[in-house]
Structure 1
């Protein structure tokens, strides 16, 4: 399997005008797109009230020390952040690699590069914080080794095609989530980074690691532990933080060096990931994806 192979371009003809519109918008300057973003913000926050109940519930439970007014303000800040991420993602369809490299600064790429120099595959654990769509695409520009991202294919054929195109246009590859183990087996020993968004809500059937996250019990996927243990891959936490509008910095923190064997049925990597993620959310609370139903599952038994 080649993770960089193109996804099918077959989708209904009536999506063509939408594709032309999105590609046309992508060629506009970001300053103009942020004006459009203001309209999206108003629409989501005040007209459609997109998942407003979920957003407010998540914020109240995560920050019980904040007043109702502070929660409402944080929700507004989140919707503005989300609107910016949306137009920045559209811009990827036409943004030159050189411009992307200027807008996303890797502060300490040597954390990854030393493992690449040793001929190793590295697992990069990230989250829906900052602009998560710019992490993989900028990594493909910044790093000396190949960058692949594990993703969940969309059921809508047009949006699957369009987002696949955005995410791979700077040279990154994509691996469907269900094919991750097969890909790791077939490309064992390849020098690359495999990026995983590791903050999705894991259900009981996923053998989750349960812990307290933002004052709430949450289950986390443990596939990164199993992959790191089986293939002795170093694991790095990837933090993306907004410096100012349209500019981000990426900070890398090593969670596991890939050398010491991991004890079975222990989850030190996932526990360290959760700790790092909560630290980032508390520093930049408006920049996390609060529309996501992160705490929808409950521990069984």
Structure 2
């Protein structure tokens, strides 16, 4: 049934990478030059993040970002059918031993992630580790695409949990002595009455969810920031930057401050690999 429901995406997914990148090039031209999808937002964000860069440098980063953004979409669709052996050839993990050592000691791990690199490919990490792996996500209002992304993300044994149920589920695992690796995206803008805290991020006072820090503390997790370096199209190297060796020893603000600081360092190195299309600072007083 799933093959019929998502038939167009399965057709795309079985295409070889070189053909997908031809389609991606066309999509980039349409997105950047014709439709101008969120170009004002992207340029505004880049100017805020890099105030000392020239207009020429900003445009150069923006174009590279849009090329990567289009590539990433088709690479993500490829998750529907890609073979594990091909993932292992295209997705290199630089310092996996950092994780395996903690897991052998029965310590929980939190991957405090961001919209950087191809974050959807992080769902393939269970191919390299034998561990109970969970990711918290905010359900999309469009159920078709919501179900499509769950299908892609769970293909390699990642358990997708709606954010509003995540705290209870992960605490249940902790109380039952189930060692787990849990993935939480930390760079989304908090909405409504969500728990939030502010810290400096690219020269702006920026709001962050406090939920990830609370979960890490309650589950006494080792926290890592995973980030990706793009070697070439369809080939990435994954790194793990330690944020906290024991979350129970720090307050939530300290965890968020450290996360924001390390994420900013990564984005400074690879600005074109960050998601610049969302209005990250809209609720913190910035007018778009």
User: TM-score, normalised to structure 2's length?
Assistant: 0.93
Q: Deviations 1:106-164 (Å, cap 9, x if unpaired)?
A: 1111111112111122111111010010012x211111212211111111121111111
Q: Is the 8 A contact 2:217 2:247 kept in 1?
A: no
CA distance in 2, matches of 1:131, 1:71: 21
Q: Which runs of 5+ in 1 are unaligned?
A: 1-7, 10-14
Q: Is the 8 A contact 2:135 2:184 kept in 1?
A: yes
CA distance in 2, matches of 1:54, 1:128: 16
Report the equivalent of 2:40.
53
Q: Is the 8 A contact 2:173 2:179 kept in 1?
A: no
RMSD of Structure 2 on Structure 1 (CA): 1.9
CA distance in 2, matches of 1:197, 1:230: 17
Q: Is the 8 A contact 2:220 2:247 kept in 1?
A: yes
Q: Does 1:165 align with 2:139?
A: no
Deviates more, 1:79-88 or 1:224-233: 224-233
Q: Is the 8 A contact 1:211 1:218 kept in 2?
A: yes
Q: Is the 8 A contact 1:111 1:253 kept in 2?
A: no
Partner SS for 1:187:
helix
Q: Which runs of 5+ in 2 are unaligned?
A: none
Q: CA deviation at 1:231?
A: 2.1
Q: CA deviation at 1:286?
A: 0.8
Report the equivalent of 1:4.
none
User: TM-score, normalised to structure 1's length?
Assistant: 0.89
Q: CA deviation at 1:207?
A: 3.2
Q: Is the 8 A contact 2:113 2:184 kept in 1?
A: yes
Report the equivalent of 1:288.
274
Report the equivalent of 1:255.
243
Q: CA deviation at 1:53?
A: 1.1
Superposition pairs of residues 208-287 of structure 1, within 5 angstroms? 208-258=196-246, 261-263=249-251, 266-287=252-273
Report the equivalent of 1:41.
28
Q: Does 1:193 align with 2:171?
A: no
Q: Does 1:298 align with 2:281?
A: no
CA distance in 2, matches of 1:216, 1:92: 35
Aligned residues: 283
Q: Does 1:27 align with 2:14?
A: yes
Q: Does 1:115 align with 2:102?
A: yes
Q: Is the 8 A contact 1:120 1:190 kept in 2?
A: no
Cα distance 1:260–1:162, how it changes in 2: closer, same or farther (>3 A)? closer
CA distance in 1, matches of 2:194, 2:248: 25
CA distance in 1, matches of 2:35, 2:284: 29
